Amino acid sequence: MNKVVLVTGANSGIGLALCERLLTQDTEGVQLCLACRNMQRAQAARSALLASHPTAQVALLQMDTSSITSVFKAAQEIKLRYNRLDYLYLNAGIMPNPQFDVTAFFKGLFSRKIITMFATGEGILTQTDRITPDGRQEVFATNLFGHFLLIRELEPILCHAGRTSQLIWTSSSNAHRSAFNLEDIQHQKGTQPYSSSKYASDLLSLALNTHYNKQGLYSSVICPGFVMTNLTYRILPSFPAFLWTLLMPIFWLIRVFTNMFTLTPYNGAEALFWLFQQKPESLDPYAKYHSLTSALSNNYTQPQKMDIDLETSEALYEKLLQLESEERRKVKEKQKPSQHFHSNRAGPLSS
């Protein structure tokens, strides 16, 4: 039977590379749905996939994960189109207005933390977040909360007796406990919203396993390593593309010291692809699955224990459920005036 696979943020980078890899492995056996914010880029991605796999089933769906209305609308559409969903890749993500701390970078080069700095970007990156029209912090809304609402909405087609479904989050080695605060889950106060949102996805994945494994739904997280994509090019915006190309030999050299420099979206998608082939019951809910590339350019996936605990994951889950109820209440409030308007119109006509 065909596997139904939905990938968010599938029009570029790691998400698109995953789609390409899935189709290369089994063109006929996969029914792909690319859920994208930008439909022009989504069309281009679909055409590229169909050019190399003309018989593939590739559908498109408009969804902006930072917008509550868009997520609810997309979820309705998905439920109309499919009666089951085997894989949901929660991959869309942003790192807006990144600031690269040059001083910290040079200090790091001459410290014992040099490898960690290159592997995780720890200590050298901050971001300035924005507020969405819904009034939420944009990084939290895009990377985490929109995805959480999507999962909750898709529950009926994700949970089926007698078969399993997988949720797979594109997290990061940049996820740190120190950037996350349970009292400020949207990271309104700090300067590391990206790290906070990725740490929150690690916690949420654990909580989802606690609450949904019995219903056959399993969640895992991966880190794609450091990959050259639109997201990373924006870290040094003044750097022209050719300078990045000039840096490539240095980056390949760094692979001798850390296998986290996967560099290409194809390599970065390794763990996402590997998880597609695993039995979800055999996976460790406390592990992050890393895409790694050796100095000799061999790709492999390796699990690493995450710095997370059940108590914090449950507390975050509760807070997300509260936010979800608030959002549902707001949606109902918005619908009320128009219902009132229609019933008023219906009144005199029927009398």
Which letter does DSSP use for residue 2 in this model? P
**C-alpha distances out from residue 176 to 1, 89, 111, 196, 309, Å:** 40, 22, 20, 7, 13
- Cα dihedral value 308, 311, 317, 321, nearest 10: -170
Site membership for ligand LBM42IJL, residue 172 (CB under 6 A): yes
Stretch that binds ligand LBM42IJL, among 18-26, 50-58, 230-238, 323-331 (CB under 6 A): 230-238
Q: Is the dihedral of CA 70, 17, 275, 262 positive or negative?
A: negative
* Of positions 247, 287, 295, 315, contacts ligand LBM42IJL by CB under 6 A: 247
Which of 87, 89, 194, 317 is labelled catalytic?
A: 194
| E strand or H helix that includes residue 241 | helix 241-254
Q: Which of 334, 70, 330, 215 minimizes the C-alpha distance to 322?
A: 330
Q: Which residues bind ligand NDP (CB under 6 A)?
A: 8-9, 11-15, 36-38, 41, 63-66, 91-94, 142, 170, 172, 223-224, 226-227, 229-232
Q: Which does 201 bind (CB under 5 to 8 A by kind): ligand LBM42IJL, ligand NDP, none?
A: none
Site membership for ligand LBM42IJL, residue 125 (CB under 6 A): yes
Site membership for ligand LBM42IJL, residue 127 (CB under 6 A): no
Site membership for ligand LBM42IJL, residue 199 (CB under 6 A): no
| Residues between 102 and 121 that touch ligand LBM42IJL (CB under 6 A) | 118, 120-121
Looking at this protein, which amino acid is placed at residue 24?
A: T
Site membership for ligand LBM42IJL, residue 124 (CB under 6 A): yes
In a 13 Å sphere around the CA of 255, the CA atoms on its Cβ side amount to: 24
Q: Which of 197, 131, 210, 138 minimizes the C-alpha distance to 170?
A: 197
Query: In the annotation, is 218 catalytic?
Result: no
Q: Which does 120 bind (CB under 5 to 8 A by kind): ligand LBM42IJL, ligand NDP, none?
A: ligand LBM42IJL
Q: How many whole angstroms separate alpha carbon 25 and alpha carbon 28? A: 9
| Residues between 249 and 278 that touch ligand LBM42IJL (CB under 6 A) | 250
Q: Which does 272 bind (CB under 5 to 8 A by kind): ligand LBM42IJL, ligand NDP, none?
A: none
| E strand or H helix that includes residue 330 | helix 310-350
Q: Binding residues for ligand LBM42IJL, per CB under 6 A?
A: 118, 120-121, 124-125, 172-174, 226, 232, 235-236, 247, 250
